């Protein structure tokens, strides 16, 4: 009754990301939200599979040729659930290590709930990441040590 009935790749939080701070995209951070029959976020056990396709803007099915890699994460055990569940988002997060280049791509997720419970799927068009400047360490200006500070007038 309260198991997952639908799934969506969250359009606000799923993005091409720079995880290392070097100014270059490292992959896709995908946020997958499962929803129960009331439309509320929920958890589930199963396997999540991600596939990436070239984007074909003028076709009814926007998925073009599939990228050879397929990414699969099991969510069967407590530690697997904990590694991907975000309490703040009430959704699962996954880091997919791939450079999508400079063209839009289609990300498709399939959540396999098991033989008797079926599969849920969703897809989203991802835009390439805008270039970001590399992160730099903060710089500090040296200060004068108290022993080197001039004495106040009157010898204090």
Residue 145 DSSP class: -
Query: In the prediction, which pLDDT does 127 show?
Result: 87
Has residue 154 been placed in a domain?
no
Query: In the prediction, which pLDDT does 1 show?
Result: 57
Q: State the CB neighbour count (10 A cutoff) for residue 25.
A: 21
User: Which residue's entry shows tokens 């400047």?
Assistant: 133
Domain that holds residue 116: 6-132
* Mean pLDDT, contiguous 10-residue spans, the chain (156 residues): 87 91 89 93 95 94 94 96 94 93 93 88 88 64 62 63
Query: In the prediction, which pLDDT does 99 show?
Result: 85
Tokens of 60: 């009814």
In angstroms, how far is CA 116 from the centroid of its own chain? Answer: 29
Q: State the CB neighbour count (10 A cutoff) for residue 12.
A: 7
Has residue 43 been placed in a domain?
yes
Residue 50 DSSP class: E
Has residue 67 been placed in a domain?
yes
Query: What's the CATH code of the domain at 68?
Result: 2.60.40
């Amino acid at each position: 009754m309260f198991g997952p009935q639908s799934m969506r790749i969250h359009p606000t939080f799923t993005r091409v990301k720079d995880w290392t701070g070097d100014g270059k995209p490292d992959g896709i951070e995908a946020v997958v939200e499962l929803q129960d029959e009331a439309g509320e976020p929920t958890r589930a056990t199963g396997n999540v599979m991600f596939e990436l396709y070239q984007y074909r803007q003028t076709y009814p099915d926007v998925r073009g040729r599939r990228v050879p890699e397929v990414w699969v994460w099991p969510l069967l055990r407590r530690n697997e659930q904990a590694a991907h569940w975000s309490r703040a988002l009430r959704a699962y997060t996954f880091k997919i290590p791939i450079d999508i280049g400079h063209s839009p791509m289609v990300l498709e997720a399939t959540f396999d709930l098991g033989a008797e419970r079926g599969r849920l799927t969703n897809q989203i068009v991802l835009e390439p990441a805008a270039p970001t400047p590399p992160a730099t360490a903060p710089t500090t200006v040296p200060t004068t040590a108290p022993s080197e500070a001039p004495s106040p007038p009157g010898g204090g």
